Amino acid sequence: MRLEERPASSFFQRIPAISATPRSFLAAILSVTCVLSLTVELPASAAIPAVAKEKKPKADPALKGLPITELSPDEAILHALNRLAYGPRPGDVERVQQMGLAKWIEQQLNPNSIDDRAMEARLQDYPTLRMSTAKLIDEYPQPKQAEKQAQQVQAQARQERRRSDAAVIVVEKDTQNAPEQPANSEAPAMTSASAPQPWPDNPSAAAPMKQPAQGKAATNGTGRRDVLGGGDPNNVPRAIADDSKRPQRVVAELGMAKVTRAIYSERQLQQVMNDFWFNHFNVFAGKGEDRYYLTSYERDVIQPHAFGKFKDLVTATAKSPAMLFYLDNFLSVDPRAAQRQAAERAMRQQRRRGGFGWPPRPTANPQQPPKKNDRGLNENYGRELMELHTLGVDGGYTQKDVTEVARCFTGWTIDKPRQYADFKFDDRLHDPDTKIVLGKKIHAGGMKDGEQLIDMLAHHPSTAKFISTKLARRFVSDNPPPALVSRLAETFQSSDGDIHAVLKTMIWSPEFWSRESYRAKIKTPFELVVSAVRALGTDVDTPMPLVQWVARIGEPLYQCQPPTGYADKAEAWVNTGALLNRLNYSLALAGNKMRGARTDVTSLLGVDSSADPKTALDRAVRVFLGGQAGPTTVETLEKQLDNPQVLQAKLDDPRKQVDLGVVAGLVLGAPEFQRR
């Protein structure tokens, strides 16, 4: 037996689509069969509209002006909608075709030229989006202990009611509570290379109705939560309900607004870029006061600069209370500042006592050991500014540079963090001496030290390369072609870090439109959730369940604890647990089991439930996958649809009925839909 196996597997190893572990040997054979059949039939275009097929790609007027040679017109438009937007809605491909792809892209690159009032109207439901930080702190205070307990009792009653409601519509679900935003944590209790998950204090399914334990649950003010993130996403915790005035509501509205924008905004590329930059300059909502600062951070810092100059973006983040708090810079001070201040105080006293006759000398003893509550240097921001925001970890800096950068930013702090939280430069806390960063002397003085440093970092060649690589990874492929990255870096440097110009260079590069990059990216959980809603044309009234699904699939919004942000490579998102949740999400959404979201699958597919299941399947593949499913996917699904269970026989109706929600759910769960 083993002799038979060996030559076979060495043969199969040469085929890239095969994983050659002994365990998957059989599966490998199956794949080979598929590969072979694919080579005959690719491009798998059974359902590409006939019009498109007849035209030669180059001649198509819809693609005019773009360096597209390897993709068909339909593929190119789909590609653009998947990369520069969150996937096509019903009719989008036709619309872009009519307008011309280049024109659509130009519009997306200039988002202010696009009317987005319909989406803005949807955001009216979230008043916190327009509030100042001061107002948020004022209107969404940390509840006091007594209030908390009263709310717990209420919440429990409500939960029981909700639970019984939900039980009616959800066929398979357990009795757990919904996941919730991680509670306030000065000591955020979990990170991981993977995603921080919402977590509960008492997830025991055996005793779901028990009063939450006091202590942690009470101090966090959130009641029971599901630590492992397995609750029912339809179930919205009390603290983030529509009428909640708890701080968790502020972050919940951010999440709902983000999902709403990604689904409904006409300014799609703007949303993609906002997401990119927020992730690049990540701030974790679970760290203390940051829950109040993120609204302004996203609205006033990230969004306005998303297509602007990179230096302005870095400067704005450096001065934002959100970043100052998240990476501790607001606490970083010159260690000698306290002594200096003591000396000045002494000087003033002396002056008062001795009149104005002579300049007094400082009297504080410089040898005196620092007191316990004297503050000093904190290098957290200095390091991440270089490693994650500008130069990249290989950008050529040393530990000494990190300390020097931290010295430059001493005194960059937050004025009244618990009242209005404005940026403040406090000269008394700033290290006045010369610093040397990357071999260059920084001695501009005061706040200019930090500004000069940002200018230097933003224009550094390592930064150009690092940012270009990340952009190309987001828009082209996990390992983007080096030639493309260098081209982007050149534009970055020659345009003074103009993000708009870099994007243009990228989109007008042939690598962006190569066959190799087509469907090369695995969708992140956020992209998957949003693109499925768009594909179905679902009307979303209450986005909270969608927000909770994004978390469950592995990317809780605003909850990425480490400053790296979420990974942008397939490995981070492809695994058993996440895959299963993707499938379950597709079933729930297409099956109309998502609270606050309505999908009309019948009119979307243009067939009704009395249709032949194969017709329904063909339509679903055409609508959701642009007609481009691998032949095996279609074949496999056709076989499954012969299963009598798909054809539900109703008692009072002799005809067989196709469950269109199941058909749609299967197709949205197909491997092809996991890619963009």
The verdict on 591 binding other proteins (CB under 8 A) reads: yes
List the structure tokens of 640. Answer: 């499954």
Give the C-alpha separation, 582 to 525, whole Å.
8
Instruction: Pick the closer one to other proteins by CB: 320 or 674.
Output: 674
* Nearest-5° Cα angle at 376, 375 to 381: 120
Which of 78, 137, 273, 522 lies at the binding interface for other proteins (CB under 8 A)? 522
Which residues in 10-39 contact other proteins (CB under 8 A)? 16-27, 29-35, 38
Which residues in 622-661 contact other proteins (CB under 8 A)? 630, 632-633, 636-637, 639-641, 643, 645-646, 648, 659, 661
Instruction: Pick the closer one to other proteins by CB: 176 or 265.
Output: 176
Instruction: Pick the closer one to other proteins by CB: 21 or 98.
Output: 21
Which residues in 310-329 contact other proteins (CB under 8 A)? 328
Instruction: Pick the closer one to other proteins by CB: 110 or 564.
Output: 564
Which of 577, 606, 610, 612 lies at the binding interface for other proteins (CB under 8 A)? 577
Dihedral angle over CA of 394, 396, 402, 407, nearest 10 = -140
* C-alpha distances out from residue 23 to 26, 27, 28, 635, Å: 8, 8, 9, 25
| Spatial contact of 395 and 383, defined as CB atoms under 8 Å apart | no
Which residues in 367-426 contact other proteins (CB under 8 A)? 372-380, 383, 387-388, 393, 399, 402
Instruction: Pick the closer one to other proteins by CB: 260 or 413.
Output: 413
List the structure tokens of 71. Answer: 């993709």
The verdict on 662 binding other proteins (CB under 8 A) reads: yes
- Distance between the two ends of the chain, CA-based, in angstroms? 41
List the structure tokens of 598. Answer: 């309505």
Which of 146, 192, 358, 359 lies at the binding interface for other proteins (CB under 8 A)? 192
488's CB contacts (< 8 A; 6+ apart) are: 468, 471, 472, 502, 505, 506
**What ranges in 17-122 are assigned the alpha helix state H?**
25-41, 50-54, 73-83, 92-99, 101-109, 117-122
Which residues in 228-287 contact other proteins (CB under 8 A)? 228-230
Instruction: Pick the closer one to other proteins by CB: 70 or 672.
Output: 672
Size of the site for other proteins (CB under 8 A): 125
* Binding characters for other proteins, 463-502, by CB under 8 A (x = yes): ----------------------------------------
Minimal distance, residue 522 CB to other proteins, in Å: 7
Instruction: Pick the closer one to other proteins by CB: 94 or 174.
Output: 174
436's CB contacts (< 8 A; 6+ apart) are: 404, 442
Which residues in 161-190 contact other proteins (CB under 8 A)? 170-174, 176, 185-190
- On the CB side of 125, CA atoms within 13 Å amount to 21
Which stretch of DSSP H or E encloses residue 570?
A: helix 570-573
The verdict on 332 binding other proteins (CB under 8 A) reads: yes
Residue among 454, 581, 455, 442 at smallest CA distance from 524: 581
* Binding characters for other proteins, 196-225, by CB under 8 A (x = yes): xx-xxxxxxx-------x--x---------
Which residues in 346-375 contact other proteins (CB under 8 A)? 372-375
Q: What is the DSSP letter of 233?
A: T
Give long-range contacts, CB 8 A cutoff, 24+ apart: 481-488: 481/511, 483/511, 484/509, 484/511, 484/512
The verdict on 572 binding other proteins (CB under 8 A) reads: yes
